[in-house]
């Protein structure tokens, strides 16, 4: 990393030092989320995927130590008190393993809304085949979309601002996650899914969203992701 990158990151960290959940421009409250989701038809939510779906995280001062899904569920529940939900997410799984271990249970739940967050582990393997990754994403997403009606997927945060990510692999990881995000978008659009573009989100360039394990989002990152999922669903509802 050169001096310019370090200076930019330090400036960003100074700008985010005083942020809390209540004044963060990239985070909505459950009440604000409920307003965005007014008229939501969904009452059966299932979440599938890897550690992102599961919500692996760590605390950050000023933010609730909750996974992204809590914000989405709390906002939806204000609109739909009858909401029931199931989170099948499990860390360390590639997309094929998500399909093998979670698809049947997800379909058996008879959801009308599915949030599928996975694929990152495919990009971090020693051997990465974008075409194979796209086929696996489509094999997982297609039956979920057909069963639920509404499918939400997401691209990946840019790891450029993550100081805890091993610098030896940051470049190749950025490239692969960018490719995976585009493949994810392509599959989602073919299925008329709701795609959440986190690849270009400005907080991806900030240290303040990352856990010190170098991989996962912290409490702020979780709140940002939950907010963007709510906003994407609001667009689908025509509430923007």
pLDDT score, position 16:
67
pLDDT score, position 198:
97
pLDDT score, position 7:
46
Residue 57 in domain: yes
Residue 88 in domain: yes
Distance of alpha carbon 213 from alpha carbon 194, whole angstroms: 29
pLDDT score, position 46:
98
- Both tokens of residue 5? 């990158």
pLDDT score, position 240:
82
Q: In the chain, what is the straight-line distance between the N-terminal and C-terminal CA atoms, in Å?
A: 39
5 pLDDT exceeds 90?
A: no
pLDDT score, position 15:
55
> Taking residues 60-76, what's their average pLDDT?
98
Q: To which H or E segment does residue 97 belong?
A: helix 95-108
CATH of the domain at 143: 3.40.50.1110
Number of domains in the chain: 1
| Integer angstrom CA distances of residue 4 from 148, 168, 208 | 47, 18, 19
13 pLDDT exceeds 80?
A: no
Residue 21 in domain: no
Residue 20 in domain: no
Residue 83 in domain: yes
Distance of alpha carbon 107 from alpha carbon 61, whole angstroms: 38
9 pLDDT exceeds 50?
A: no
Residue 193 in domain: yes
Q: Distance between alpha carbon 205 and the CA centroid of its chain, in Å? A: 16
Q: What residues make up the domain containing 65?
A: 3-12+26-237
Q: pLDDT of 136-182, one tens digit each?
A: 999 999 999 999 999 999 999 999 889 999 999 999 999 999 999 99
3 pLDDT exceeds 50?
A: no
89 contact partners, CB below 8 Å, separation of at least 6? 47, 48, 49, 50, 51, 52, 53, 54, 55, 117
- Both tokens of residue 62? 């000023």
Paired residues of 113 in beta bridges: 45, 150
102 pLDDT exceeds 60?
A: yes
């Amino acid at each position: 990393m050169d001096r310019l990158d370090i200076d930019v990151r330090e400036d960003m960290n100074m700008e985010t030092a005083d942020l809390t959940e209540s004044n963060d421009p990239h985070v909505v409250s459950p009440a604000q989320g409920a307003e965005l989701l007014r008229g939501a038809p969904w009452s059966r939510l299932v979440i599938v995927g890897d550690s992102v779906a599961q919500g692996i995280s760590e605390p950050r001062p000023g933010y609730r130590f909750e996974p992204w899904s809590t914000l989405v569920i709390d906002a939806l529940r204000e609109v739909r008190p009858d909401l029931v939900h199931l989170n099948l997410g499990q860390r360390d799984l590639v997309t094929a393993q998500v399909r093998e271990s979670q698809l049947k249970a997800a379909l058996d739940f008879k959801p009308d809304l599915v949030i599928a967050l996975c694929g990152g582990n495919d990009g971090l393997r020693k051997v990465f085949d974008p075409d194979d990754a796209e086929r696996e994403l489509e094999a997982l997403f297609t039956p979920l979309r057909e069963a639920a009606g509404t499918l939400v997927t997401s691209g990946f945060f840019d790891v450029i601002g993550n100081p805890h990510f091993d610098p030896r692999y940051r470049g190749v990881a950025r490239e692969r996650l960018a490719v995976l995000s585009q493949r994810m978008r392509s599959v989602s659009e073919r299925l008329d899914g709701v795609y959440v573009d986190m690849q270009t989100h400005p907080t991806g360039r900030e240290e303040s969203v990352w856990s010190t394990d170098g991989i996962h989002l912290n409490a702020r990152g979780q709140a940002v992701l939950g907010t963007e999922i709510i906003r994407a669903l609001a667009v689908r509802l025509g509430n923007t």
